[in-house]
Amino acid sequence: MKASPDPRVWRNWARTATATPARWCLPRSEAEISAAVKDAALAGLTVRALGSGHSFTAAAATSGVALDLSQWTGITAADTGTGLVTARSGTTLRALGAELGGLGLAMANLGDIDAQTLAGALSTGTHGTGARLGGLATQVTSVELVLADGSVATCSASSRPELFAAARIGLGALGVITTVTLRCVPSFTLLADERPMPVEEVLEQFDALAAANDHFEFYWFPYGSQALVKRNNRVTGHDAELGTRVPPALPAWRRFWEFEVMENAGFGALCRLGRARPRLIPALNRFSSVALSTRTYTDTSHRVFVTPRRVRFAESEYAVPRESLRHVIAELRRVVPRLADPVMFPVEVRVAAADDIWLSTAYGRESAYVAIHQYSGLPYQAYFDRFESIVAEVAGRPHWGKLHSLDAGRLRSLYPRFDDFRRVRAEVDPEGRFGNSYLTRVLGDAHDL
Ligand SMILES: Cc1cc2nc3c(=O)[nH]c(=O)nc-3n(C[C@H](O)[C@H](O)[C@H](O)COP(=O)(O)OP(=O)(O)OC[C@H]3O[C@@H](n4cnc5c(N)ncnc54)[C@H](O)[C@@H]3O)c2cc1C
């Protein structure tokens, strides 16, 4: 494999991070990944594996070697009996979903897009919603990585369990993930029910809604009083027999109209108008809130979880203890109308079960996720700063791939196993080969243990 100096600039999807790597590599095998890491060491360069660039933070940014894993894709092993599937790390969730579908399998839960690579999504703790389900990393049963010395390590609950506890959400700090084994489930159909509800009512019934639905979330436009509540529930054979509870899939024209025209082209046009005339934003935001409509349909799980996102935005998201959600939303309702720069995008709220992955935002506690967004090109810093002070009061933990300002000192107080993670990092990467400035901020200096 050739690694050549290349002046190309790396940019993330949201255009909130850029970098100029000294070298780009496009490995096509594990041996080539290992060789790239060894070559970087000889040249005294750091290494970052690139995913799809969908982190809002500079998690993947590097001035060293950028490892483009877009040629390192596909499923390498699948057992349809146990549901255990091994895939190469550069596989996008979209491609993985399609391949799994062909095997009669699916991932048990997903976030709301599927453009991310498998390793990129796992490394930052990507999650969907569901009070009885954890984030994507909880579906992982083993991880294989190329470490800083070029060797290949495999870890699971029974083999190198500490590396496994760290590497499932490893921020790219421990090595280059080459393959991941996931515990998949048989393909399933979801019944989607989306309808507006007063936000007050949603908050009052929040725990009941989270408990009664497999996947529950809501969107709320900050100047409006209505929320859009999304409930996705698995359709069982019994439901199908009853027939009544099971509306059909959306016809292709309606999917196109609602997801592409209304939610992307139409909303994008409103956003552009708001950016040109910021004074109109609260009214546009209320209009979006009133325009929310009811939609029920069934479809294959990944076609319900995932929708196209073509309107670019900046985002911050924090996991807070479930019981703190009402406080956080009440504070946002108080704060947003007083901001000098109005907010064009909705707030999204999701839930997840507690888990035991060291750097998981849901480590050891049932969590509610509160995500705030602002349309690209509109000011967001003051909004995001106010949000951070609200969630700081309730020990909020930031999504590793979304904008936040916390550093290692603060993060240590939020993660009981933070220093264990740093210890494992120091063991497998004593020289900080996989470091970058984002990691220095959030984990501290690799040499400084
Ligand atoms: C429109 C949009 C919607 C989103 N929706 C959700 C959502 O519903 N839920 C949610 O939780 N998040 C969501 N996110 C955030 C997103 O899932 C994460 O930021 C994720 O990390 C992006 O994956 P990626 O492949 O783009 O990785 P990148 O952003 O490119 O990289 C992320 C990190 O993974 C590391 N990495 C990548 N590959 C490897 C590897 N092989 N080995 C080791 N480290 C590696 C990188 O170095 C970097 O540190 C969304 C983001 C966008 C832009």
Tens digits of per-residue pLDDT, 164-221? 999 999 999 999 999 999 999 999 999 999 999 999 999 999 999 999 999 999 999 8
3-state SS assignment for residue 144: strand
Q: Which atom of ligand 1 is nearest to the CA of 90?
A: 41
Does position 240 have pLDDT exceeding 90, yes or no? no
Confirm if 97 and 117 have CB atoms less than 8 A apart: no
Total Cβ atoms within 10 A of residue 420: 15
Q: What is the pLDDT of residues 117-163, one digit of tens each?
A: 999 999 999 999 999 999 999 999 999 999 999 999 999 999 999 99
The band of 30, judged by pLDDT with boundaries at 50, 70 and 90, is very high
Q: Which amino acid is at 288?
A: S
Q: Give pLDDT, residue 63.
A: 97
Q: Each residue of 250-261: pLDDT tens digit?
A: 888 877 677 766
CA of 242 to the centre of ligand 1 (A): 40
CA dihedral 8, 12, 17, 18 (to 10 degrees): 0
Asked if the model's pLDDT at residue 425 lies above 50, the reply is yes
CA distances (Å), origin 410, targets 397, 415, 416, 417, 438: 10, 9, 12, 13, 15
Element (H, E) at 299: strand 295-300
Q: Is 177 in the pocket of ligand 1 (CB under 6 A)?
A: yes
Q: How many residues does the chain have?
A: 449
What are the structure tokens assigned to 62, written together? 């590097």
**Contact predicate 94/103, CB 8 Å:** no
DSSP 363: B
40: CA distance to ligand 1 center in Å? 23
pLDDT at residue 242, rounded to an integer: 57
> Is residue 170 a contact partner of residue 123, using CB atoms and an 8 Å limit?
yes
The CA R_g of the chain, rounded to the nearest whole Å, is 22
54-96: pLDDT as tens digits = 999 999 999 999 999 999 999 999 999 999 999 999 999 999 9
How many CB atoms are located within 10 Å of the residue 165 CB? Answer: 22
Asked whether 124 and 54 are in contact (CB, 8 A), the reply is no
pLDDT (average), residues 270-283: 89
Ligand 1 closest atom vs CA 369: 11
Report CA-CA distances (Å) from 382 to 332, 341, 342, 386, 403. 13, 8, 10, 6, 13
- Check residue 264 and give its pLDDT: 74
Instruction: Please give the mean pLDDT across all residues of the chain.
Output: 93
One DSSP character per residue, 219-248 reads EE-TT-SEEEEEEEEEPPHHHHHH-TT-PP
pLDDT at 4: 47
* % of the chain exceeding 90 in pLDDT: 81
> Does the pLDDT of residue 6 top 60, yes or no?
no
Ligand 1 atom at shortest distance from the alpha carbon of 125: 11
Q: Report CA-CA distances (Å) from 141 to 22, 144, 195, 291, 351.
A: 34, 11, 36, 43, 22
Mean pLDDT of 394-413: 98
Q: In the β-sheet with 75-79, what is the strand arrangement from edge to edge?
A: 75-79, 84-88, 176-183, 140-146, 152-156
Q: Is 343 exposed, middle or buried (0-12, 13-18, 19+ CB in 10 A)?
A: buried
* Ligand 1, pocket-test mutation among 15, 46, 126, most atoms within 8 A of CB: 126
Lowest-confidence pick of 232-246, 266-280, 336-350, 402-416:
232-246
Return the amino acid letter for 183.
Answer: R
Ligand 1 touching residue 91 (CB < 6 A): no
CA distance 214 to 130: 5
The average pLDDT across 433-447 equals 93
435 Cα–ligand 1 center, Å? 17
Report the SS3 class of residue 156: strand
**Is the pLDDT assigned to residue 315 strictly greater than 80?**
yes
Mutate to test the pocket of ligand 1, among 72, 113, 176 (most ligand atoms within 8 A of CB): 113
pLDDT of residue 2: 47
Distance 103 CA to ligand 1 centre (A): 25
Which of 25, 46, 54 has most ligand 1 atoms within 8 Å of CB, for mutation? Answer: 54
Residue 194: CA count within 13 A, CB half-sphere: 16
The token pair at 266 is: 């139409």
Q: Which of 116, 174, 397 to mutate to test the pocket of ligand 1 (most atoms within 8 A of CB)?
A: 116
Report the pLDDT averaged over residues 44-60.
Answer: 98
